[in-house]
Amino acid sequence: MKILVTGGCGFIGSNLIRHLLSATAHRVVNVDKLTYAGNPNSLAEFADAPRYVFVRGDIADVTLMRGVFADHAPDAVMHLAAESHVDRSIDGPADFIQTNVVGTFHLLSAAGEYYQQLSGSRAESFRFLHVSTDEVYGALGAEGLFSESTAYDPHSPYAATKASSDHLARAWRTTYGLPVIVTNCSNNYGPYQFPEKLIPLMIIKAIGEQPLPVYGRGENVRDWLHVVDHASALCQVLQHGAVGHTYNIGGDCQRRNIDLVRSVCEILDELHPRQNGCHADLIRFVADRPGHDFRYAIDSTKIRGQLGWQPQHDLESGLRQTIRWYLEHRDWWQAILDGNYQLQRLGRV
């Protein structure tokens, strides 16, 4: 099968492509605009792989996307390209609307036109997998879980644009018959995550002996899933998911932010001890995020029961492996801190 992955130079996309090229026989066409979050270094080992093609491009460029479909004739789309960071969406929502809403619209249009030209078994097996987030459901109080039938109630500009893109994807199925499946996943962690997100930010700041900024009192709760488990869930849904269905993906692993940050500190105390004191001494409570959703938690009964998926990583060992990865791959994140990856990705150094 040839799979068109969008956003494949990002955190989840690069882990997904690594999984597709290492654990399956699929071919991959990766379309990525290379925004600040797109980093070809994350896929450096596949640069010349025969089953991998990289196209630098914007999903909002419908002419380019039509050309990609015509040239590469994919059997499926896994759509991950997005602006993904909540704090950035608060400071500047325009890019989020442009990529997540307008970009998804143009991608769906190009995919819909391409799908109309397919026939027979190729049309029957074609899938458009739209990858989304649990943030579309809003915030939970102390009790409850998000299920596939929870009403949408997005709060941040990021969540609102992802909700909008989910609705567009579903509309392309009901209106134009595009075989769409939607997934909504909880917070991911693991290797190659851009150091603006909580876990890599804390690891890198702690290694650099810098303050660890925890929003509010650190009581907000997130439900954590290792990125490799997300990748395996996406492959399972692509292969066996029912067209028109939604699958929630999560690791049944809720943690208060402060407890998670303390765990990161404890593991670092062991793997990378400070000369004086422990890493938790670096924790600082800072101003809260505006509109900060209190708790996310996913009910993943459907994907576990209907598709037989289950995560392979528990948080303790996954976190330890992730911290080890950041300690052993300083080059990857130091280039980001130095701004050099921007030049590397443009082929200038």
Binding positions for ligand NAD, rule: CB under 6 A = 6-7, 9-13, 31-35, 37-38, 58-60, 80-84, 99, 103, 131-133, 162, 185, 187-188, 194
Strand 187-189 with 221-226, pairing: parallel
Q: Of the listed 134, 148, 252, 293, which one is catalytic? A: 134
In the residue annotation, 338 being an active-site residue is answered as: no
Which one of ligand TDX, ligand NAD, none is in contact with 17 (Cβ closer than 5 to 8 A by kind)?
Answer: none
Shorter beta-carbon distance to ligand NAD: residue 179 or 250: 250
Q: 80 is in the binding site of which of ligand TDX, ligand NAD, none (Cβ under 5 to 8 A by kind)?
A: ligand NAD
Q: How far is the CB of 269 from ligand NAD (least distance, A)?
A: 26
Which residue of the chain is nearest ligand NAD when measured via CB?
10
Task: Clarify whether 45 is annotated catalytic.
Answer: no
Q: How many CB atoms lie within 10 A of CB 184?
A: 25
Kindly state whether residue 257 participates in binding ligand TDX, applying the rule CB under 6 A. yes
- Selection from ligand TDX, ligand NAD, none that 252 binds (CB < 5 to 8 A by kind) is none
Please identify, using beta-carbon distances, which residue of 78 and 282 lies nearer to ligand NAD. Answer: 78
Pick the closer one to ligand TDX by CB: 256 or 272.
Answer: 256
135 touches ligand TDX (CB under 6 A):
yes
Residues 171-200, one symbol each (x = binds ligand TDX by CB under 6 A, - = not), give ----------------x---------xx--
Looking at residues 277 to 316 of the shown chain, list those that interact with ligand TDX (rule: CB under 6 A).
289
Catalytic (active site) residue 158: yes
- Amino acid identity for residue 197 in this structure: K
- Compute how many residues bind ligand TDX; rule: CB under 6 A: 16
**Alpha-carbon gap, residue 265 to 320, rounded angstroms:** 11
- B/e letters for 76-93, b = 16+ CB within 10 Å, e = fewer, are bbbbbbbbbbbebbbeeb
Structure-token pair, residue 193: 């995550």
Taking contact as CB under 6 A, which single stretch among the options 21-29, 79-87, 95-103, 163-171 is the one that binds ligand TDX? 79-87
- From 114, 115, 137, 158, active-site residue: 158
Q: What share of the chain is helix, strand, coil (3-state, %, to 5)?
A: 50, 15, 35
Q: Which is nearer to ligand NAD, 114 or 137 (CB)?
A: 137
DSSP E strand stretches across the chain: 2-6, 27-32, 52-56, 76-79, 127-133, 180-185, 187-189, 212-215, 221-226, 246-249, 254-256, 283-286
Distance CA 298, CA 224 (A): 10
Contact of residue 7 among ligand NAD, ligand TDX, none (CB under 5-8 Å per partner type): ligand NAD
Residue 12 contact partner, candidates ligand NAD, ligand TDX, none, CB within 5 to 8 A by sort of partner = ligand NAD
Q: How far apart are CA 134 and CA 187, in angstroms?
A: 8
How many helices (H) and strands (E) are present in the chain, helices listed first?
Answer: 14, 12
- CB atoms near residue 332 (< 10 Å): 18
Q: Of 161, 182, 159, 153, nearest to 170 (Cα)?
A: 182
CA neighbor of 158 nearest in space, from 96, 102, 220: 96
Name the β-bridge partners of 5.
30, 78
Active site residue: 32, 83, 135, 166, which one? Answer: 135
CB of 274 to ligand NAD, least distance (A): 29
Site for ligand TDX contains 232 (CB under 6 A): no
Residue with tokens 């590397």: 344
**Distance from the Cα of residue 31 to its chain's centroid:** 15
With CB under 5 to 8 Å by kind, the binding choice for 131 among ligand TDX, ligand NAD, none is: ligand NAD
If the CB atoms of residues 170 and 292 are measured against ligand TDX, the closer one turns out to be 292
Catalytic residues: 134-135, 158
